Structure 1
Amino acid sequence: MAENKGYCMKIFYMLFYAILAISLGCQIGPPKSSFYAHEYEKALDACKQTVEENPTGKNYAYHRLFLASVAFTMGRYQEANQALREALKVMESYGNDETKELMAMVGSERGKEYKGDPFEKMMAHFYTGMTFYFMGDYVKALAGFKNALGADMMSPREEYKRDCVLMHFMAAKACFALGEEENAAMFLREALSQSPKNPYLDFAKLKKSNLLILVEAGKGPGKRAVGSGESVELLEKIDFPEDSVEILINGESMGKASLMADVFAQADTCGRSKASSLREAKGVAGDLAMGMPLLQSKADTRVWSFLPGKVFGFCKDVPEGFHTITLRFYDKEGAILSNYEQTWYYCPVKKDTVYCFRSGKNKGNSEPDGNFVPKPLQPPATKTKPEDAKGLWPGTQQYENFLFGKKGL
C-alpha cells in the first residue's frame, strides 16, 4: 500500500512539473548584445517590448530590472524609477505558502518566481535611491539608500553586514541635501570603518563638494548551475579590464576615484535567497525523499547581469558653470585603457550636481568608432547659465537627454 502511494506521488509530481514547464514557456533573455555595444535605444526598446509582452509571470521583476538598467544608463531616471519600484514590489514580497516553498526547493528556474538574491535587492534599492536623487526627492533617495543597507544585513557573518561603502556614501550625500549633518557624519563614520583610506569619505570634503561623480565599471556577477543534477547555483566573477579610473576636469587631473563597491564581493558575502538555500541544502535529499528525478532540482541561474562589477566615487568643489569631464581607465598593471576613455564636453555643474557614468570599450570618443559620447563640441554662449542651456545644446539629442534630463542640474 505504501509503495503504491509513493509511486502515485512520484507520478503526480512528474505530471505537475511537466504541465508547469509547458505553461510557463521559455525565459526571454535580456538584450545583452545591444546593451554592451552601447546601442541603448535598441536595448531599451527590446526591454520595453519584453515587459509589455509579459505583464505578469515568474519573470515580472527580472524583466523590469534590465529595463531599469538601460533607462538609468541613458539618464532616463523616471522610467528607471518606475521599473525598479515595480520590481521591488515582487522582490520584497513574502509568503508562507507551502507550494511556493516546494517550488523553490525542487522546481526548475522556469517554475520559480524571480525575487533575486540579497545583493540584487541591495542594488535595486540603491538605484531606486539614485533615481529619486536625480529627480530631486532627497527624502525618498535617503530611504532608498537605507533600504539598500537593510538588504545588506542578510549576510550570515557579522563583519559583512552593512559593509557596502557606496550605500553609506550616498546616504551621507542625501543627508547633506536635506540639511541633516549629524546623520551624514554617522553614515560617513560607518563608511570609513570599511574604507579608512578613502579620501572622499571626509565630512568637510563631501559637505563642500558641489560635484559628485560615480563611475560604474565592468560587469557584475554571473551564475551557473553545478553539482548533482545541476541543483546548486555558483556565482561567477566576470573578468573585465577596468581596474581604476582617473577623473580629469577641463583637462586637469583630479586624481583617481575611489572604489565604493565591489559588486561581486557583495554578492559573495551578502547571503543567498531563501529559494537558493533550500535548493542547495535539500536539492538531492529532497529528490530522493520524494522519488523525483534529479533534473527537477535545477538551480536558478537568473541573475541581474547588467549590474556593474565595480562602482567608483569622486567628489570635489568646482566653480559653477560648464566643465569638460574625462574618465581615464587603467588596468591592473596601471596601463591606460585608451579605448575605454570617455570625455563629456561642457557638463553643467551647479550647487549640487551628481553624475553617474558607465564604462565600456569604444563607448567614448578617444577612438574613431566610439559610440554615444560625441566629438568635441562648441560650448554654449559664455553668459549662458547651465539651467538655461537645454534646447540650445549643439550635441546629439541622446547626449543632451543624459546631461540635462534630471532635476538639480
Structure 2
Amino acid sequence: MITGKSIGRFIVLVAMLATFAGCAPTKAQRQADRAIADYFAGDYSGATHRLQKLSEKTDENFVLNNLRLGSAALVNYDLAEAESAFLRAYEVINSVGVNDGGRSLGAILVDEKIKIWKGEPYERAMANFYLGLVYYMREDYGNARGAFENALFKLRDYSANEKKSERLDYRDVESNFAVASIMLGKCWQKLGREDLARANFTRAVELQPGLREIADYDRNMQSNLLLVVDLGHGPQKVTDFDGSIVGFAPVPAQVGPPPRASVRIDGQVISDSQLGEPTIDLLAMAQDRRWQSIDTIRAVKSGIGTGMIAVGAYEGMRGINGSGSAQRRDLTAAAALIGAGLLLKLTSQADVRQWEMLPRTVYVMPLHVSPGVHDIVVDFPSIPGLRQEWYGLEVPDKGDATYYMRMQRHNSGPFYWPPVRDEPRDVADGD
C-alpha cells in the first residue's frame, strides 16, 4: 500500500537527485567530437571531411559547425572551403532576426539551446576576423575590410551596474580588439586610404603600446610577406556541479602570459623581437564582462529553481511526519514546488557549446624580404620544441604574400609549399 510517508520519501529523493540529470551525446555531436580530435591530431583533411556534412544542417549548430569547418579548411589551405564556411557563419552572426520572435522568446523562457548558437562576443569577433583573413589572403581587400570592420562591433559593458539584474542594463563601448584594427589598417593601405590606415594603426597602438612595431605604417607599407600565426587554446566554458553557471577557464594568471614568437628566414633570425608580440589574449578577453554574453536570466532561473527545490524538500520532510489532511497539503505543496524548481533548473542549464579550435593568441608579423622562395621557421624561445617549419614559401616582386600557421606541439613539420592536401579516407557517419 502506498502511504503518505512513502510518497513523501519519494518526493525528497527526487529533490536530492534533481541536479544529476544529463543527456547522452547525439550522433552529430559524436561526429563533431571526432572532427575536433582529427583537427588537434593534425589530420585537417579528415576534420574537414567530417565537418562538411554537419555544416550543411540548418539546425541550432549551423554557425558552430561552419566555424569549425572554416578553422579546419583554413589551416589546410583550402581557402575556397574556408571562405564558404566562414561566410555562412558570418551571415547568420551578423543578421538581424535570424531567430524569429517565438524562437528567441522560447530560448529565454524554455531552453537556451533552442536558439541558434552565435557564440560569445569574442567568438563572434574571431569569426569576422578569420573571414577577413581569408579574403586578405585571396587579395580581396574590399571584402576583407568589411569583415574586419564587423569584427570591431561595439561591446556591451555591464560592469558599471553588475549588481543589477535588468537584461538591458549596459552601455555601448568601443571594441578593444586590436588585431582587427591592425588588419583593417592593412586593408586601407591596399585600398589607397592612408588616412584611414593610419587611424587604425594608431588605434591598435593606443589599445596595446607593445604593438607599435607591428602597427607601424611604413613597415606595413613596405611589407611583402605577412605571417599570421595562431598559438594555444582558447578559453573553455565550464559549469558548476549542476550545470547552471558558466565560467571560463583557465584564467591568464594560471598559465602565464602568451610567449613572444621568433622568426628565422633562411636560417637568419629576424632581429626585431617586437614583431613577435601577441596581439590578443582570448583567455583574458573571456574574463572581461564586455566580451561575455549576458547570463543574468539563466543565473536567476537557476537560483530560483534551487530555492524552490530546497523548500519543496522541506515540505516533503514535514509531510512525512504529518498525517491526514495536513500531510496531503504538505505533500501536494512539496510536489508543486519541486516540479516548478526542476523545470527552472532544467531550462537554465548552461549552453557550453563552444568553438574549440580557437587559439589563445594571434601573431601578425609584417616582414620585408627579397622576392623569391624562402624557408621560414616560427618558434617560441620560451617553449622548447614548439616550432613550425615551412620550406619554399613564395614572396612576390609586388604586393605581399600572406601565410597562416596553426602552432601545435606535435605538428612542427617540415611543410612544403605549395601544400598537398591528403585525400580523406571514407568516413562512415558512425565512425
Q: TM-score, normalised by structure 1?
A: 0.76
Q: Which moved more, 1:281-290 or 1:61-70?
A: 281-290
Q: Which residue of 2 aligns with 1:154?
A: 156
Task: Give the secondary structure class of the aligned counterpart of 1:145.
Answer: helix
* Residues 49-92 of structure 1: per-residue CA shift (max 9 Å, x gap): 3234xx22111111111001100111112211111121123323
Alpha-carbon separation, structure 1, partners of 2:62 and 2:281:
27
Letter in 1 for 2:355: W
Q: Paired residue for 2:42?
A: 38
Tell me what 1:194 maps to.
207
Cα deviation code 1:157-190 (max 9, x no counterpart): 6897421210111001111111111100000110
C-alpha contact (below 8 Å) 1:212/1:355 kept by paired residues: yes
For residues 61 and 153 of structure 1, the distance between their equivalents in structure 2, rounded to whole angstroms, comes to 20
Give distance in 1, aligned partners of 2:257 and 2:176. Answer: 25
Does the CA contact (< 8 Å) of 2:184 and 2:200 recur in 1? yes
Which structure would you say has the larger RCO, counting Cα contacts within 8 Å and 6 or more residues apart? Answer: 2
| Residue 310, structure 1, aligned to residue 361, structure 2 | yes
Residues 106 and 286, structure 1, Cα contact 8 Å, conserved in 2: no
Q: Is the 8 A contact 1:92 1:115 kept in 2?
A: no
Q: Please report how far the alpha carbon of residue 211 of structure 1 lies from its aligned counterpart in structure 2 after TM superposition.
A: 1.4
Contact 2:77 2:419 in 1 (8 A): no
What count of residue pairs does the alignment treat as equivalent?
342
Q: Describe the shift of the 1:327–1:105 C-alpha distance in structure 2 as closer, same or farther (beyond 3 A).
A: farther
1:218–1:240 Cα contact (<8 Å) kept = no
- Find 1:177's aligned residue among 190, 212, 229: 190
What do residues 242-266 of structure 1 show as CA deviations (whole Å, max 9, x unaligned)?
7221011111111441111112222
- Deviation digits for residues 205-263 of structure 1, max 9, x if unmatched? 11111112111001111112226x42211112385997221011111111441111112
| Structure 2: gaps spanning 5 or more residues | 1-22, 160-170, 309-336, 423-431
Q: Unpaired runs of 5+ in structure 1? A: 1-20, 366-371, 375-392, 400-409
Q: Which residue number in structure 1 is paired with residue 147 of structure 2?
A: 144
Instruction: Say yes or no: does 1:347 pair with 2:393.
Output: yes
The structure with the largest alpha-carbon Rg is: 2
Normalised TM-score (structure 2): 0.72
Distance verdict in 2 for CA 1:233–1:68, change over 3 Å: same
**1:246 and 1:33 mapped to 2: Cα distance?**
28
Q: Secondary structure at the match of 1:342?
A: strand
Task: Indicate conservation of the 8 Å contact 1:72/1:80, yes or no.
Answer: yes
Report if aligned partners of 1:223, 1:303 keep a CA contact under 8 Å in 2.
yes
Counterpart Cα distance in 2 of 1:283 and 1:102:
16
Alpha-carbon contact 2:28-2:54 (below 8 Å) kept: no
Amino acid of the structure 2 residue aligned with 1:76 = D
Deviation at 1:201, TM superposition (A): 1.4
Structure 2 SS opposite 1:75: coil
Q: Identify the match of residue 226 of structure 1 among 240, 246, 265.
A: 240
Q: Distance in 2 between matches of 1:223 and 1:68?
A: 21
Once residues 306 and 133 of structure 1 are traced to their aligned partners in structure 2, the CA distance between those partners, rounded to angstroms, is 21
Q: RMSD of aligned C-alpha atoms? A: 2.8
Q: Which residue of 1 aligns with 2:227?
A: 213
Q: Does 1:114 align with 2:120?
A: no
SS of the residue aligned with 1:302? coil
For 1:314, what is the secondary structure of its paired residue? strand
2: CA distance, partners of 1:107 / 1:69? 28
